[in-house]
Amino acid sequence: MGSVLPEFMKAVTFDSPGPAQVLKVSDLAVPMPGAGQVLIKVAAAGVNRPDVIQRLGQYPAPKGHSPILGLEIAGEVVALGAGADPALLGQNVCALVNGGGYAQYCIAEAAAIPETLFTVWHNVFERGWASEGERVLVHGGTSGIGTMAITLGKAFGLEVIVTCGSDEKCERAIELGAAHAINYRTHDFVEEVKRISHGEGVHLVLDMVAGDYVARNLKCLADDGRHVTIAVQGGAKAEVLMWRVMARRLTLTGSTLRARSNAFKVLLAQEIAANVWPLVDEGEVRPVMARTYPLEQAAQAHAQMESGDLVGKIVLEVV
């Protein structure tokens, strides 16, 4: 254990699912780390779309994990559970967690990196098999996931095409490194992808919409293309002509990280540390920041995320 810890902490809670206004700050007991865990004094917590879905009552925390919102944090390790490396104590870290991030203290496994980086690396490079020189279509180009996909894609030699909801967001995506940006409100992204790629299509689609976008996405894919779904903001059901999948040898896959085992997340963290973290150290990979709110304004942060009026990540500052 480290220095003497307080008995209670501030945390964002809600009594029942509902709109952003249900969020409030409560006094809760400071959690204690178990075997292989560390306690982090939180300096900042990322706000992610799954937090909004959980607040609406549609994405409960995994059994045995904190019901408090928040999947990614940065801060200082202040206490260790049994078996945790003593060298971690006092270190400044960032961590992917299964919940509990919207608080002054949070439990984490002893190896992790934040949500957007985990999600993009795993789904674009592992599940989507992206390789240098390939063309990728990313929906929600100015979201936290979208901006990370642009950043990593550029760093690893991908031609990233994004869709955005306004000309201003398209311009920002180009500034961040996207090769092309399509305003989906004024242009048919299927036709635009065909034009941009000279009829060849893209090798990979990173999809956060699902629903009726899936059939349109498949029209954007080149033969042997891969379609990776990571969210279903446009609806959980999709209608697909399977003979097209067969004839063009397409791959449809997807994933969620929260339900994966700690052992898987550790292995993923090790791969990211080896392949991406040197670029973080060099400053080539950095999250794009939209806005920072104090912890007490979590409701305003959620309202902004739901409005779509952002470019990059929303973060809660914890003091």
Cα distance between residue 57 and residue 16, in whole Å: 8
Q: How many helices (H) and strands (E) does the chain have?
A: 10, 14
**Is residue 117 a contact partner of residue 145, using CB atoms and an 8 Å limit?**
no
Residue 128 lies in a domain: yes
Q: Is residue 269 part of a domain?
A: no
How would you classify the pairing of strands 135-139 and 289-294? Answer: unpaired
Decide if 263 is inside a domain. Answer: no
pLDDT of the chain, 319 residues: tens digit per residue: 446 899 999 999 999 999 999 999 999 999 999 988 899 999 999 999 999 999 999 988 888 889 999 999 999 999 999 988 888 899 998 888 889 999 999 998 754 447 788 899 999 999 999 999 999 999 999 998 999 999 999 999 999 999 999 999 999 999 999 999 999 999 999 999 999 999 999 999 999 999 999 999 999 999 999 999 999 989 999 999 999 999 999 999 999 887 788 788 878 888 988 999 899 888 888 888 999 999 999 999 999 999 988 898 999 999 8
Co-location of 56 and 158 in the same domain: no
Shared domain check, 109 and 76 = yes
Q: Please check whether residue 13 is in contact with residue 28, taking contact to mean a CB–CB distance below 8 angstroms.
A: yes
Same domain, 131 and 216: yes
In a shared domain, residues 159 and 247: yes
Residues 121 and 219 in one domain: yes
Phi, psi of 208 (to 5 degrees): -115, 5
Identity of residue 5: L
Is residue 159 within 8 Å of 135, Cβ to Cβ?
yes
CB count in 10 Å sphere of residue 259: 9
- The number of domains in the chain is 2
Pairing of strands 105-109, 37-47: antiparallel
Indicate if 159 and 89 belong to the same structural domain.
Answer: no
Query: Could you tell me if residue 267 is inside a domain?
Result: no
Q: Same structural domain for residues 43 and 159?
A: no
Burial bucket for residue 69 (CB in 10 Å: 0-12, 13-18, 19+): buried
Q: Does a structural domain hold residue 262?
A: no
Q: What is the CATH number of the domain that holds 133?
A: 3.40.50.720
In a shared domain, residues 71 and 124: no
- Looking at the structure, tell me whether residues 122 and 249 fall in a common domain: yes
Q: Say which DSSP state 104 is in.
A: S
Residues 121 and 240 in one domain: yes
Residue at 180 is within a domain: yes
Q: Is residue 313 part of a domain?
A: yes
pLDDT at 283: 86
E strand or H helix that includes residue 12:
strand 8-13
Q: Residue 26 pairs with which residues in a beta bridge?
A: 11
DSSP 8-state secondary structure symbol assigned to residue 103: B
User: Of the candidates 37, 104, 27, which has an alpha carbon nearest to the alpha carbon of residue 73?
Assistant: 104
Q: What is the pLDDT of residue 110?
A: 56
Report if residue 275 sits inside a domain.
no
**Containing structural domain, residue 145:** 116-254
pTM for the model stands at 0.76
User: In terms of domains, do 104 and 167 share one?
Assistant: no
Say yes or no: 52 and 144 in one domain.
no
| Domain CATH for 296 | 3.90.180.10
